[in-house]
Amino acid sequence: MSDDANFWTDADRYLVRYGGTWVPGVIERAAGSYVFDADGRAILDFTSGQMSAILGHSHPDVVATIHHASSTLDHLFSGMLSRPVVDLARRLAETLPDPLEKAMLLSTGAEANEAALKLAKLYTGGYEVVSFSQSWHGMTSGASGATYSHGRRGYGPAMVGNIAIPAPNAYRTRFERDGVHDWRAELDHAWELVDRQSSGALAACLVEPILSSGGIIELPLGYMAALSEKCRERGMLLILDEAQTALGRTGAMYAFERDGVVPDILTLSKTLGAGLPLSAVITSAEIEERCHERDFLFFTTHVSDPLPAAVGLTVLDVLAREDLCERSRVLGDRMRAALLDLREQHECIGDVRGRGLMQGIELVLDRETKEPADALGARVTERCYELGLHMNIVQMPGMGGVFRIAPPLTITEAELDLGLEMMAQALMESLAMV
């Protein structure tokens, strides 16, 4: 039996399957914009790992930081502090508008959202949490309770107090006026329903500026400001989950900058560690002080760990030195032009949406009916991989397959163009099979 055969036999026998199917290749190493399988085949990574590796794989600065940190200061008792932790908290505050200045460093996005929800509940005295109907905030109890895109069936009741409002999907909206998405009417209707369901204990609204797992749904310009006002009217806190959108991904340091709205609490993960487990919760001194007075508790094994904090500092250094926010904006414009051109060529592309190097295309059987093209999406995904391109497709009930395109911010123009060419080839060949 070959080594690969043994590998898959062991995988089938010993691994718990946790969602979807495995990518059909044994990955041996990764470098830059590519991962390499056991046969040495280069596979262009259009998902930045799990939407995280914004500096590409094995970035030399990150490798050097890990080597140094692991040989000097890797892990500490959670009540101990080190310079990388305090330095990263300060550096993050320096990138953010007032009053966001108090940070807590954790490991995963779910953990950061969990901590943010606990802060909001303790601060407001409420327990009810509002989030979008196609949201993804994590798999721990509070974060999972606020997640509606997948994974709610079969586990019994979610945490009490969770309320869903419609995700403002302009492509598939039920709220139109003169053929245009009437997001304000949709938002007003949503909050009328929130008020009817609430027991009077609203604590927070937890949302993503761009719903990634929900199908690259971008909040319309003006929506976030109106949402923030709905929260203020009810004494709630606005929590923005920028796990995937922060640190240059959308062409700005933070996606919320476009809207001129400052959240009460900001959560970061994925991009902050550039592939390593690092997340952050950032809030105001006033919120932190009140929660501290009320004995806020979130004492975990890896809170304030120095090694990932050192990596976070390196990520900020590289972002600034290489001006990756601007690079993401420029390459994002290049990618969008190519995707719009592809849409002109193929009726099966119903919509192109997103910002910077985080964009998506939605596949449909018919542009008029917008009937989902699930089978086509699966074929294109498979063919892309055969050609040497790793793509990720979101398939949800009532939607077409939505490709999430989020390559590293360090990708070259030639690599970006190559990936787009492979995607176009996979699409044409898959359509020929119909």
Q: Which helix (H) or strand (E) holds 49?
A: helix 48-51
pLDDT band at 305 (very low <50, low <70, confident <90, very high): very high
Q: Is the pLDDT of residue 52 over 50?
A: yes
Q: What are 248-300's pLDDT values in tens digits?
A: 999 999 999 999 999 999 999 999 999 999 999 999 999 999 999 999 999 99
pLDDT (average), residues 50-63: 97
Write down the domain spans for the chain: 3-58+323-432, 73-321
pLDDT for residue 20: 81
pLDDT band at 160 (very low <50, low <70, confident <90, very high): very high
Token pair in block for residue 329? 């904006």
User: From the CB of residue 345, how many other CB atoms can be counted at a distance below 10 Å?
Assistant: 11
Residue bearing tokens 């590796």: 53
Q: What are 202-259's pLDDT values in tens digits?
A: 999 999 999 999 999 999 999 999 999 999 999 999 999 999 999 999 999 999 999 9
Task: Find residue 282's DSSP bridge partners.
Answer: 103, 266
172: region left, alpha or beta (phi > 0 left; psi from -120 to 50 alpha) = alpha
The catalytically annotated residue of 102, 270, 353, 383 is 270
DSSP single-letter state for residue 24: S
The catalytically annotated residue of 244, 264, 327, 353 is 244
The catalytically annotated residue of 136, 242, 288, 355 is 136
pLDDT for residue 335: 98
* Proportion of the chain above pLDDT 90, given as a percent: 91
The catalytically annotated residue of 218, 241, 305, 362 is 241
404 in active site: yes
| 3-state DSSP of 172-227 | HCCCEECCEECHHHHHHHHHHHHHHHCCCCEEEEEECCEECCCCCEECCCCHHHHH
pLDDT (average), residues 151-174: 93
pLDDT (average), residues 309-322: 98
- Assign domain 73-321 to a CATH class: alpha beta
Q: What are 360-398's pLDDT values in tens digits?
A: 999 999 999 999 998 999 999 999 999 999 999 887 776
pLDDT for residue 1: 45
The catalytically annotated residue of 111, 128, 208, 351 is 208
The catalytically annotated residue of 230, 355, 383, 404 is 404
**Angle (nearest 5°) at CA 71 between 69 and 77:** 70
pLDDT for residue 398: 66
191 in active site: no
270 in active site: yes
pLDDT for residue 401: 85
Quickly list DSSP for 64-118.
Answer: HHHHHHHHH-----TT---HHHHHHHHHHHHHS-TTEEEEEEES-HHHHHHHHHH
183 in active site: no
Q: Is 3-58+323-432 in CATH node 3.30.70.580?
A: no
pLDDT (average), residues 333-357: 97
pLDDT for residue 434: 67
